[in-house]
Structure 1
Amino acid sequence: MSKTPEDDNRPRLRHSLLRLDSWIDSTVWNLGFRAAETWEEITIFFRRFRVRGFKRALVELTCEGLTLGAAGSVLMLALALPAFEETKGDWRAQSDFAVTFLDRYGNEIGHRGIIHEDSVPVDELPDHLVKAVLATEDRRFFDHYGIDFLGLARAMSANAQAGGVVQGGSTLTQQLAKNLFLSNERTIERKIKEAFLAVWLESNLTKKEILRLYLDRAYMGGGTFGAAAAAQFYFGKDIKDISLAESAMLAGLFKAPARYAPHVNLPAARERANVVLTNLVQGGLMTEGQVMAARLAPATVIDRAVTGAKAPDFFLDWAFDEVRRIAKPFAQHSLIVRTTIDLSLQQAAEEAVETGLREYGESYRVKQGALVMVENGGAVRAMVGGRDYGESQFNRATKALRQPGSSFKVYTYAAAMEKGFTPESVVTDAPITWRGWSPQNYGRSYSGRVTLLTALAKSINTIPVRLAKDELGTEIIAETAKRMGVETPIRTDKTMPLGTSEVTVLDQATAYAVFPAGGMESRRHGISQIMNYDGDILYDFSRDTPPPQRILSEQAVSSMNRILTQIPVIGTARKAALANGITTAGKTGTTQAYRDAWFVGYSGDYTTAVWFGNDDYTSTNNMTGGSLPAMTFKRLMDYAEQGIEHRAIPGIDAAVPVASAKAKPAENESADALPALVRPRMLSSAVSRIIRDLGARMEKAPAVVIPATTLPGRVAGLEDTPLIGTQP
């Protein structure tokens, strides 16, 4: 048998494979051997640095410190990033605007912003004013870098000994950081941001710049911002001319301007000024002899007894933000702004909130409230951002994010009406589970098959969840709320239909105003006109904004109005029904653990959103939206609806009060009702229209000079004075 070519190639292939295997083995062995040699050389090298005894302990501690320092740096960076987000944009822009605000009738109501020429450099301020401020607010101002750890330790020790808060640990720079970038909300997040921003300010500004900004931006009571404005308001003087006693009084305002405002409580202001003088002596900035004259002759303020209505400061803060947004492109930043505020309604709104808190705050364990009233058409007529602007300038009407509870359900029902449901549509009220979550009704009972009208009137929880799960989806509900005017981002989780996504009071007032507007965009606004000091109109809302867009169909808004007008009659808001029989509509809201209570309602004329709760999110004493919020709504709306020409809610006959055979008066209604407000008598709308038309005609008509000799009973000295009239 002869050999084939394949038989001759096999030994060669086997030999080649053996050589390859040998090469791999030798290479791997050599690499391992060389690696071992290298490792041994490295080990021998580092043995030179091996330490024993106490030196080893130091090395170990250093290594651990470096490790913890690296981790801490990453953590600090993560905490600092949210704070530094606040510094985006031109954070000095507020000083670019100086705005004089007018109410809807053209009366001056306040100022915001700082005119650069009126901002006095620190070097030109009285020395005793600077010393008084530093002695009281931050004695180590020139020694720390934004955070005073020694001062913080001293304050904590003093507070511990006193068993309460008697000293603050915040530096002047931290207070400026809060004034410039943050709110007065008492949260850990805000304090962390404040600390980082204080260090950032110290890195970017000189000490004198920080002190100047602090003196220019701080609220000083009486609607004034900055020490220069306060000196003019309280003493009628330029800040360069104030005395030591007056400086002490101004320095005492920084802690609590409402409590120590001298035009409100002069004895308290003088007592506080005396504390400031003591601080000057204790801080070594002045001697007792130097301050004795100021103690013996305390400052006296000019008479502010007749100052007109109180400035609507929460509204002005919001309006100033609106002005800066609208007027940013304008070349001129010294402006006169006509707003939509009605001081009569504003005062009534403040009284309604304060009266409710004064009479029921203790029993309900609630300390704060907020309110926004919008005239149907979009003009904001009243805004209450908290109980006392002097105590806290945080605007709870525009900035506080609170869960709306059942008052959020209207967006789910509105989306359902858009999809073709009606108030008579029947849905089953029964236990439901969605993604492992089983919501409960308030009474932990179920009603079976009910109409949507009954479901919303009785605020049944399972129905909106069932609609969201089976018919709508949370994305559609969120989009409906956004189109109606809710500007706060809305979460779309499964609990959202029951109002767990936070909103503001202003959001709620804006969105609900779509219902009395017949489904059209409410176009909420606080600015009517912006003018320069030459009288030129730079912005006019009616001229420069687009017409309202349709948000809800006529069928959907009519159905929603039919349902919501029943809630003050047979539903959860019977205490919101107006005394004069005018038809109102709205929805209550109460959040988990009774932390928040809402009522948002409307008539054909006004939409009002009311919230009560606590800044620290503690629970109230079983307060619901149908109690104090509904009563506050009624008190304000009873006042607002007096003496005006009423408009009907779309789809509802205003001449026929909404009623039901099942309607029952609220229990203890007379006992629970807040005292009524009486609106001053005024011209009717018809007479007002006639006067406005007459004025317009007189402006357009040609002037005629009537000779004085033709007038009976000539007045001495006026014989040659022509009278301007109109042609007959």
Structure 2
Amino acid sequence: MSDSRKRTRPLVADKRYASSSKKRPAKKPVKKPVAKRRSTRAKPKRRGGILGLLSAMVRWVFRLIWTITWRITAVAILVLALAVGYFYTTLPPLEALLDGRARGSVTLLDRDGDVFAWRGDQFGGVVTAESVSRHLKHAVIATEDKRFYQHFGVSPRGIASAIRINLREGRGPLQGHGGSTITQQVAKLICLGEPFDPASGMTEKEYEAGCRAGNIQRKGKEALFAMAMEVKYSKDDILSIYLNRAYMGGGAFGAEAAAQRFFGKPASAVNAAEGAMLAGLLTAPSSLSPTSNLSRSQNRAATVLRLMNEQGYLSEAETREAQANPATLSEAAEKKAGGYFADWVMSTGPEFFTRNTTEDVIIRTTLDPRIQKAAEDGLKWVFENKVRDGSKAQAAIVVMSSDGAVRAMVGGRKTKVAGAFNRATQALRQTGSAFKPFVYAAALDLGYSPNDLIDDSPYCLDIPGSGRWCPKNYTNNFKGMVTLTDALKNSLNIPAVKISESVGRELVSTVATQFGIKSDLAAGPALALGASESTLIEMTGAYAGILNGGSSVTPYGLIELRLLGDTEPLMGTGGGIGERVIQEGAARQLVYMMEKVISEGSGARGQFGGRQLAGKTGTTTAAKDAWFIGFSADYVAGVWMGYDDNTPLSGVTGGGLPTDIWREAMSRVHEGLPLNPLPMARPVPMTDLVQDNGYAPPISGQGNGGNIIDQVLQDIFGGGGAGAGSNAPAPGAGDR
């Protein structure tokens, strides 16, 4: 049986809280299951209709563009990496790029062994970005590529800026400013690693033009090559290549050569002003070269100094100091002595060791810097004090020793030049009466005496094919019977023609040619009056032959040529005294006659210092050319004056301004030299001539020479002697 007291208790929870009431506690509300939370981002409601369709199409297009863009970008990056990698594999070791010489240089030394000129490409040796002066390094970066240490070889900002400037200035986007970095400039300097191949059929000039091409294809390849260089080399390595290969004007390639060329010091020692000048040359090395225009180069350097200050490389005080004391040229670069002389020496040496040398050549020359300065100063003084302002007349001077060693040369009024037209060696001009000494040399060598007489009276010749020709004297009057000495002293034309016809034009031409006049000589009787053309250096060399006793002379300036580093020369002197032309006695008598030209005659303005001097004036028809050539016992000097376009000189004869230039130059040349006598001989009696030479001279010294010459001429030309005739002036009129 079941016990009712043991019934199962109802399944009711116990009270948790006491309550005074008997009430049944209220049931707790049953929590409803929470619904799963949905995303708060509401789905965009799709628009219907046309707007919905357009929106869908735009989204699809953008997704397509994005997909294509990132894939193309990825492919482009891959191609770029492959291209850069390819160029990377073609780059040589750094050492092969630091020294980029392709040609050699020529250094010219004066007679004392000092450098006075350079020619050809100058390479001063390898430098690095660490070894050069910090001022030079900073100046190059500030001027050429201020973000050099930040970019990867190409500067997008620089390119964008360059395009903007080009468009603003009315040029094409790639014309003018290029926005090239230093790395890109180096890539261009080494021609993107493409060496010149002579077998390609391309000239070197065409090759260099191709290296500098600015088309879009070349620019792209240049950019790739630059990025490859950034991977291969460090920034300082790239800057080092640039400092060694960049052309800096004046024939100097690289910082070391330029520093030595312009300042006479290594690139490691240049100061801020000098470094700024060198860096400034990189923009336009030829026009900004300090040897061409120092003030322009200094102005450019001032701009570079300002850039250095703005970029923090120089303080305000350092900038002011450098700008207040601009860089100046070294003594050798400033003088640039013998520019014409250096050009002449280069033209006379072997081409493979001068103009086209691939070696570094040293040439020792005959140049005397003291005499060179004397010649330049003498010419300058006359033009400043005796020539009217604005005159375009030119002049040239050559000074040499009696053996033909050229000591000074001025080829024009502008003396600080290189590669200019040299009027001393290149200008063929009529010689006028300066040719007459060769007429008298021929006569004296045949036994004529300076005291022989000749009749200066009206004289005509019938020239086949040309008609009657009647020379006249400069003064248009006649002296009558004169000695040969007086005829030369006063530069009389008629006696000179008579003597030339008497001894024979062929002999006169032979004597002149053997003395060094290489130009074609006139074939007619006007030969005696200097109708032929010659250069100043030829004429001066011929007069040197008279001074040295009658032997020919080949003017020379090269003493020896050797390669840099060698002690033995490859070649020696290329000139000097040659074969005898006239007897020494005849030469000494001619010197005596020419001494009278200066002491008593048409060259009297050439006297100075109580010295014995000899020479001859010369003026051509219409005064297109004026000459004075003369010598002391020590030096021979020749002066030419005229216009390049053959404009007649106004009021100028050989005995005027050319003689003044000669005197001013030679008086400076002879400062401090002893008064040495000329090697001249006064006329000797006829009996001595017969005894010494073994024959009697054709003209006696007793005053009848003129009659004998007239008789000879009449026999030759059939009465073409004295008498009235044409009044046409003779070529090469005499002078004063």
TM-score bucket of the superposed structures, by smaller chain = 0.5 to 0.7
Give the corresponding residue for 1:403: 430
> Aligned to 2:518, which of 462, 487, 490?
487
Tell me the SS of whatever aligns to 1:491: coil
Alignment counterpart, residue 451 of structure 2, candidates 396, 399, 424: 424
1:476 partnered with 2:504: no
- Partner residue, 2:560: 529
Can you list the C-alpha shifts for 1:341-400, whole angstroms capped at 9, x where unaligned?
111111111000111111122179453211011112221111111111456711111111
Q: State the Cα distance separating 1:488 from its structure 2 match.
A: 3.0
Measured in 2, the distance between the counterparts of 1:426 and 1:486 equals 28
> 1:439 and 1:480 mapped to 2: Cα distance?
23
In the TM superposition, residue 304 of structure 1 has moved relative to its aligned partner by: 2.5
Q: CA deviation at 1:562?
A: 1.5
* One-letter code aligned to 2:629: V
The 1:309–1:570 alpha-carbon spacing in structure 2 relative to 1, beyond 3 Å, is: same
* Equivalence map 1:165-564=2 (5 Å): 207-208=209-210, 233-234=261-262, 254=286, 261-262=293-294, 265=295, 268-269=296-297, 302-304=327-329, 306-307=331-332, 309-324=335-350, 333-362=359-388, 365=391, 367-390=393-416, 393-429=420-456, 430-433=458-461, 434=463, 435-436=466-467, 437-473=469-505, 475-539=506-570, 541=572, 548-564=578-594
Alignment counterpart, residue 584 of structure 1, candidates 610, 613, 630? 613
Supply the distance in 1 between the matched residues of 2:656 and 2:614 (Cα, whole angstroms).
16
2:634 to 587, 597, 605: 605
Aligned length: 466
Tell me how far 1:516 sits from its aligned partner. Answer: 1.4
* Aligned mates of 2:252, 2:536 — CA distance in 1: 26
Deviation at 1:620, TM superposition (A): 1.9
TM-superposed deviation, 1:509:
1.0
One-letter amino acid of the counterpart of residue 112, structure 1 = R
How much does 1:489 deviate?
A: 3.3
DSSP 3-state at the match of 1:566: helix
Q: Give deviations 1:436-476, integer Å, cap 9, x for gaps.
A: 23222111112222221111111111222223334312x33
Indicate if the aligned counterparts of 1:363 and 1:621 stay in contact, CA closer than 8 A.
no
> Amino acid of the residue matched to residue 426 of structure 2?
K
Q: For residues 124 and 508 of structure 2, what CA distance do their matches in structure 1 show?
A: 51
Aligned partner letter, 1:465: V
CA distance 1:572–1:258, change in 2 (3 Å): farther
**C-alpha contact 1:510 1:522 (8 A) present in aligned 2:** yes
Q: Partners in 1 of 2:326 and 2:277 — Cα distance?
A: 11
The aligned counterpart of 1:638 is: 667
Question: Which AA in structure 2 matches 1:425?
Answer: D
Judged with a 3 Å threshold, the aligned counterparts in structure 2 of structure 1 residues 115 and 345 are, in CA distance, closer, same or farther, namely: closer
Equivalent-residue separation in structure 2 for 1:368 and 1:250 (angstroms): 35
2:120 to 113, 121, 143: 113
Distance change in 2, residues 1:252/1:610 (3 Å): farther
* Distance in 1 separating the partners of 2:125 and 2:514: 43
On the 8 A contact 2:104/2:357 being kept in 1, the answer is no
Letter in 1 for 2:579: Q
1:232 deviates by 6.2
Q: 1:510 to 1:209 in 2, by over 3 A?
A: farther
Task: Give the conservation status (yes or no) of the 8 Å contact 1:365–1:621.
Answer: no
Residue 493 (structure 1) shift: 3.7
What's the Cα RMSD here?
A: 4.8
One-letter amino acid of the counterpart of residue 608, structure 2: L
**TM-score, structure 2 normalization:** 0.54
The Cα shift of 1:603 comes to 1.1
Structure showing greater radius of gyration is 2
The amino acid that maps onto 2:361 is: L
Cα deviation per residue 1:260-295 (whole Å; 9 max; x = unaligned)? 622xx2xx446689999xxxxxxxxxxxxxxxxxxx
Counterparts of 1:32-43 in structure 2, within 5 Å, are none
Cα separation, 1, equivalents of 2:447 and 2:248: 52
- 1:104 and 2:126 correspond: no
> In structure 1, what is the equivalent of residue 239 of structure 2?
none
> 2:337–2:372: 8 Å Cα contact kept in structure 1?
no
3-state SS of 2:413 partner: coil
Q: 1:583 to 1:621 in 2, by over 3 A?
A: same
Tell me, what secondary structure is at the counterpart of 1:110?
A: strand
Q: CA deviation at 1:634?
A: 1.7
Match of 1:664 in 2: none
2:618 match: secondary structure:
strand
* Aligned residues of 2:554 and 2:576 also touching (Cα < 8 A): no
Q: Deviations over 1:106-135 (max 9, x none)?
A: 11222222368989xxxxx99979x99xx9
Say whether 1:624 aligns with 2:653.
yes
**Where does residue 235 of structure 2 map in the other structure?**
none
Unaligned runs of 5+ in 2: 1-101, 127-139, 146-158, 175-201, 214-244, 269-273, 305-318, 683-736
Deviation at 1:526, TM superposition (A): 1.0
Do the aligned partners of 1:337 and 1:529 also contact (CA within 8 Å) in 2? yes
Alpha-carbon displacement from aligned partner over 1:502-530 (angstroms, at most 9, x marks no partner): 21111111000011101123342212222
In structure 1, what is the Cα distance between the partners aligned to 2:375 and 2:576?
Answer: 30
In structure 1, how many angstroms separate the alpha carbons of the residues matched to 2:342 and 2:673?
A: 26
Q: Structure 1 residues 402, 255: closer, same or farther in 2, change over 3 A? A: farther
1:301 deviates by 6.1
Distance 1:431 1:375 in 2: 39
SS at match of 1:600: strand
Deviations along 1:422-449, whole A, 9 cap, x unmatched?
2122222223234423222111112222
- Contact 2:619/2:626 (<8 A) preserved: yes
- 1 CA distance for matches of 2:571 and 2:518? 23
Tell me the distance in 2 between the aligned counterparts of 1:609 and 1:109: 23
Residues 540-565 of structure 1: per-residue CA shift (max 9 Å, x gap): 647x8786321211232122112101
Separation in 2 of the partners of 1:616 and 1:440? 26
8 Å contact from structure 1 (residues 258, 389) kept in 2 = no
Amino acid of the structure 1 residue aligned with 2:593: I
> Offset at 1:231?
7.3
* Counterpart secondary structure, 1:111: strand
Q: Which has the higher contact order (CA 8 A, sep 6+)?
A: 2
* Partner amino acid, structure 1, of 2:450: P
- Measured in 2, the distance between the counterparts of 1:261 and 1:252 equals 12
2:427–2:535: 8 Å Cα contact kept in structure 1?
Answer: yes
Q: Which runs of 5+ in 1 are unaligned?
A: 1-94, 120-124, 144-199, 277-295, 654-728
Distance 2:645 2:106 in 1: 34
TM-score, reference length from structure 1: 0.55
